[in-house]
Amino acid sequence: MAFSKNGIELAINERESTRLRTFLNLELNNISSRHIAGQELFLYMASYAPAFGMLGTVLGLIVMMNNFSGGGGSVDSSGDVAERFAELLSGMGLALITTFYGVFFANMIFLPVGGKLKRLSENEMMIKSIVVEGIISIHAREHPILIKEKLMTFVPSQFRYNNTD
């Protein structure tokens, strides 16, 4: 709504249509740049999450190997073997769970949010492009029927209505 208001005010104050179009396109580009920055944040998080999961896997394997290579003596009782095996499995569990969380966050949270932001941005930029064309047409004092026909080209043909008003 503010974009439309600012565009109409600019159209009232600006005499040259080329400068008006330049100003409006500059504002569109700035809006798009802000949208891309938000999208990239989530896409970068999606690319880094599996890497952090793998880092956790390596740390889990290091813990696992440290616990397993404890004492080098002979094994006397089955309790000692069971205890070492339990320590080994706890390190393995840490290794696997960090990989799981890295992949889970990347594919179930960060990528969908980044994709949703991209789609929302594309829709908003399309609407703002229609507004720009409308403002430029109004500024050029085109006939309302011509403006309507020009703006209807943005709408897919199956959604256009044929009114003979």
Exposed, middle or buried: residue 108 (CB in 10 Å: 0-12, 13-18, 19+)?
A: exposed
Q: What pLDDT digit, counting tens, does each position of 25-35 carry?
A: 999 999 999 99
pTM across the whole model: 0.75
Which among 90, 109, 16, 98 has a CA at the least distance from the CA of 57? Answer: 98
Q: Which residues contact 52 (CB under 8 A, 6 or more apart)?
A: 98, 102
Q: How far apart are CA 93 and CA 61, in angstroms?
A: 9
Longest CA–CA separation in the chain, Å:
97
- Listing DSSP states for 38-95 in one string gives HHHHHHHHHHHHHHHHHHHHHHHHHHHHHHHTS--S----HHHHHHHHHHHHHHHHHH
Categorize the per-residue pLDDT at 62 as very low, low, confident or very high, splitting at 50, 70 and 90.
confident
Exposed, middle or buried: residue 82 (CB in 10 Å: 0-12, 13-18, 19+)?
A: exposed
Q: What pLDDT digit, counting tens, does each position of 107-140 carry?
A: 999 999 999 999 999 999 999 999 999 999 999 9
User: Where along the chain do its domains lie?
Assistant: 2-159
